[in-house]
Amino acid sequence: MRKKVTLKDIALRLNVTKVTVSKALRNHPDISDNTKQKVKEIADQLGYRPNLLARSLTSSRSKTIGVVVPKIAHNFFAHIVAGIQKHANANGYEIVLKLSEESEKLENKHIEGLLSMQVEGLLVSVSMETRNTDLYKWLRMMQVPLVFFDRNIMGIGFNSVIMDDRKAAKNGVAELLKRGCVNIAHLAGYQHVNIGKERLLGYKEALSENGSKPVMDMVVEGGFDEEAGYYGFKTLLKRRIVPDGLFTVTYPVGLGAYMAMQEIAPELMDDIKMLAFGDSGIRGAVPYPQYYIDQPALEMGKKAAELLINEIEGKIMACDHIEYIESKFLETGWDF
């Protein structure tokens, strides 16, 4: 195993003290620019990596943010994390990423683990299983800086960065109606999760305001992944419902519905216009779904990191404030 490079190794190479090396690496004003440059050059040559934990214990600042996401297999959360990391790094913070895999138990375990690592704040998108808010209430009582993104819990006192899900869903479904759809079904998410609830409300409002009464048999509630879309679409067919429009709560749900359609009746793709909330990151490369509600994930990640760092540094307070990220209705450009 390769020996870990220490401050002492760098000091011996330059015939200076460990204190000088430490100060040079931290850009301390006591050290000349020439010495700083030499120290950094030798540190790079030797492959020196700072001990962030030791630094946090001596400085009382870890400059580290804990991030918890439900999953990262799909484009949306990957881009959010990229946005978080970009803003965090630009402001001198590192991130530690944890995946809850849509499990409330694992989410709580990760949050407790991140706190034990002395992170200075948390960025969390709650899992679809999360119902018990006791841990979050305790975090608020302990004044732990935390910002929710995409999926939030209101009423506890934490700030959030989310889409205006109801408005975006309403506008998207209204676009399907303009394109001639009459019977629009909805593969919905769980209603205890904010995005599931708000997107269903937007769907209902769009139909009501355009003279169509929502029919609950046209709504199938499930999760936010491919499996939910696959079985959700099969459920519609079991109910003898073949819509001419389909609105899915997430892109993975839309992908699952597409897989079911290919398996059962691929010809339905010629008859059903699909709108997915979010996209795969390869919009336009595949023909189905034809329509998307675009989610600027990178922007959401940057804004969430910005709010959290401002809270950590005492520039703003946690207060149930919501920052909304604007969405757009987009087409793939494929003709059917």
3-state secondary structure 19-46: HHHHHHHCCCCCCCHHHHHHHHHHHHHH
- pLDDT (0 to 100) of residue 1: 39
Residue 304 φ/ψ, nearest 5 degrees: -65, -45
- pLDDT (0 to 100) of residue 53: 47
Burial (0-12, 13-18, 19+ Cβ within 10 Å), 143: exposed
**No. of H helices and E strands in the chain?**
12, 12
CB atoms within 10 A of CB 74: 20
- pLDDT (0 to 100) of residue 22: 84
Residue 251 host element (H or E)? helix 251-264
Nearest to 274 by CA among 244, 299, 303: 244
- CA angle, residues 317, 318, 321, in degrees to nearest 5: 105
Q: Do the bridges between strand 291-294 and strand 328-331 make them parallel or antiparallel, or are there none, so unpaired?
A: antiparallel
Nearest to 239 by CA among 264, 214, 220: 220
- pLDDT (0 to 100) of residue 284: 55
The C-alpha atoms of residue 44 and residue 23 are separated, in whole angstroms, by: 16
pLDDT per position as a tens digit, 216-229 = 899 999 999 999 99
- pLDDT (0 to 100) of residue 286: 62
Residue 99 host element (H or E)? strand 94-99
Query: Domain extents for the chain?
Result: 7-49, 62-163+297-325, 165-295
DSSP letter at 130 equals -
Q: Are 267 and 198 in contact (CB under 8 A)?
A: no
User: In the sheet where 273-277 sits, what is the strand order?
Assistant: 219-221, 184-188, 245-248, 273-277, 291-294, 328-331
Q: Do the bridges between strand 184-188 and strand 146-149 make them parallel or antiparallel, or are there none, so unpaired?
A: unpaired
In CATH, 7-49 is 2.70.150.10: no
- pLDDT (0 to 100) of residue 281: 61
Superfamily of domain 62-163+297-325: Response regulator (3.40.50.2300)
Q: Do domains 7-49 and 165-295 have the same CATH topology?
A: no
Q: Are 331 and 290 in contact (CB under 8 A)?
A: yes
Bridge partners of 187?
Answer: 220, 248
CB atoms within 10 A of CB 133: 14
The C-alpha atoms of residue 106 and residue 194 are separated, in whole angstroms, by: 20
pLDDT per position as a tens digit, 275-321 = 999 876 655 556 678 899 998 999 999 999 999 999 999 999 989 99
The C-alpha atoms of residue 323 and residue 158 are separated, in whole angstroms, by: 12
Q: Tell me the average confidence (pLDDT) per consecutive run of 10 residues in the chain, 336 residues long.
A: 74 90 84 91 82 52 92 87 96 96 95 91 95 92 93 94 96 95 96 94 95 88 94 95 95 92 90 88 66 92 97 91 92 60
The C-alpha atoms of residue 108 and residue 25 are separated, in whole angstroms, by: 36
What pTM, to 2 d.p., does this model score? 0.76
Residue reference for tokens 């809270």:
311
- Rounded to a whole number of angstroms, the distance between the first and last alpha carbons of the chain is 59
CB atoms within 10 A of CB 315: 10
Residue 111 is encoded by which pair of tokens?
């949050």
Residue reference for tokens 């009459």:
182
> Strand, helix or coil at 173?
helix
The C-alpha atoms of residue 289 and residue 175 are separated, in whole angstroms, by: 14
> Strand, helix or coil at 135?
helix
CATH number of 165-295: 3.40.50.2300
